[in-house]
Structure 1
């Protein structure tokens, strides 16, 4: 008759499986990060070290608890079989052994729930690596790397498009802040209503904006954190007399204001950047290329 596995054997088997699962998860994480993305590779190394350390600590704690668990289990079994245990002939009248057994059951249940929670976290992290936001980031990084560029993050506060333009202008030594960019954009649109009004419709009715609605729209552009899109980009190119190129993950780049001869401002459009969706970022020279030039 085959011997029943001890608690120690079962725990060792569980630990081997958890280590194997972690290695598979780490491999998936490595495959999802481009080799030329040093910043993310560094972060990946730190994440891997953290996950391995956490698993190792968890295993050590479980092994440390094992003797206590085996002792309680064997005591309960011996009592059930009428065998003297721990020097006692009968079950303690004060019910202490029963309380200990229940406490161990609570600890076991807590350990199972914790393991399930860790499994859900691991699955969520792998899902995130394969999610829309992550995949969009990989595609953009690949496109930009071909041009020796990388994303430069700007705040997601409703001003992101203007902040990205402000950042690009600063690289050219042009100190134009977002307040001025907004004000000039709103005024330009207001002064050329025939060029912009036909593209604005009421989201509730689908009707073209009235003159009053258009006036409010221009005021919001100029003085609030209203999100900017292609109409505002068109107005900005005309105000600045500079083309603006918008790079996207799944579509060809869009260049607005090609009639102007200045080098284009380059923006990144991200559809899945945040919970609210769309976001603009700026760009900068790829760190590796910058280091080579300095060398």
Structure 2
């Protein structure tokens, strides 16, 4: 079997890097939207988490570029492309930067490194945050005779938590597909709530449709807007329980028994996470029928 030429393989890697950066930026925007601006402690932690995530992705991409150069050392013509890619911002702007832009990029890189060092120094505090969050959630759920049911942190957690509580069988792909379809059909209702994560400007309709495509094609994280769409699709209210905020009820206009999700800020090292719930005594009675 003939291997693809280096240029083709490099182009594929470039496209994947761009996609991963775009996905991360969408995820970061969701993280920012979930933290009130007046909550200084959580905003500080958010800044650290964002810096860490950006640094991890940048390091991953740089390692892949270096490995590519090792595998194809004779393709020196690709060196400049690789350098430009490393400097390219998350908006996929042209890689040809001016001198002042390069200086800003270097300053931004130094700032990310500084924030990453701060994040590493404060990692020990995350364990206490997690413990406190879990203790509060256990008390809230216990009052409802519920406990958390762990859902894998794979980018599909919100959809898997919904899937776990439905009384009928449905695939993850179906839930994502139906969500994207609903958002597309009701773009006028949802588009005003989507904005560019860097500038704050509203998304164009084309950008919004691309976001809907990502729901189907990628393991993109879901949030309140996707939950709103799912509540309409399922004709069912959805409760989101959090440790430090009141319970959020989405789809209050529906009268069916709500699906219950637990939203965690610190349980997952990569950021926010959704878990499902189960009856508090399900382990003791063994194989009890599902609550939903």
Give TM-score, length-normalised by structure 2.
Answer: 0.54
Distance 2:173 2:192 in 1: 26
Q: Verify the 8 A CA contact 1:183 1:223 in the aligned structure 2.
A: no
Pairs aligned (count) = 166
* Correspondence for 1:162: 159
225, 244, 247: which one aligns with 1:253 = 247
In the TM superposition, what is the alpha-carbon distance from 1:191 to its structure 2 partner? 0.5
* Correspondence for 2:106: none
Q: Report whether the alignment pairs 1:140 with 2:134.
A: no
Distance 1:289 1:221 in 2: 34
In the TM superposition, what is the alpha-carbon distance from 1:222 to its structure 2 partner? 2.2
Residues 35-58 of structure 1: CA deviation (Å, up to 9, x unaligned) = xxxxxxxxxxxxxxxxxxxxxxxx
Secondary structure, counterpart of 1:255 in structure 2: strand
Structure 1 unaligned blocks of 5 or more:
1-126
Residues 67-106 of structure 1: CA deviation (Å, up to 9, x unaligned) = xxxxxxxxxxxxxxxxxxxxxxxxxxxxxxxxxxxxxxxx
188, 200, 205: which one aligns with 1:206 = 200
Q: Report whether the alignment pairs 1:195 with 2:192.
A: no
Mark the structure with the bigger radius of gyration.
Answer: 1
Q: Structure 1 residues 289, 163: closer, same or farther in 2, change over 3 A? A: closer
Give TM-score, length-normalised by structure 1.
Answer: 0.53
Q: Structure 1 residues 285, 212: closer, same or farther in 2, change over 3 A? A: same
Matches within 5 A, 1:208-247: 208-247=202-241
157, 172, 176: which one aligns with 1:178 = 172
Q: Which has the higher contact order (CA 8 A, sep 6+)?
A: 2
* Correspondence for 2:272: 278
Q: Verify the 8 A CA contact 1:270 1:280 in the aligned structure 2.
A: yes
Secondary structure, counterpart of 1:131 in structure 2: helix
Give every structure 1 segment of 4 or more consecutive aligned residues whose post-TM-superposition deviation is greater than 2 Å: 127-130, 287-294
Q: Verify the 8 A CA contact 1:247 1:266 in the aligned structure 2.
A: yes
The RMSD of aligned alpha carbons is: 2.2
In the TM superposition, what is the alpha-carbon distance from 1:196 to its structure 2 partner? 0.4
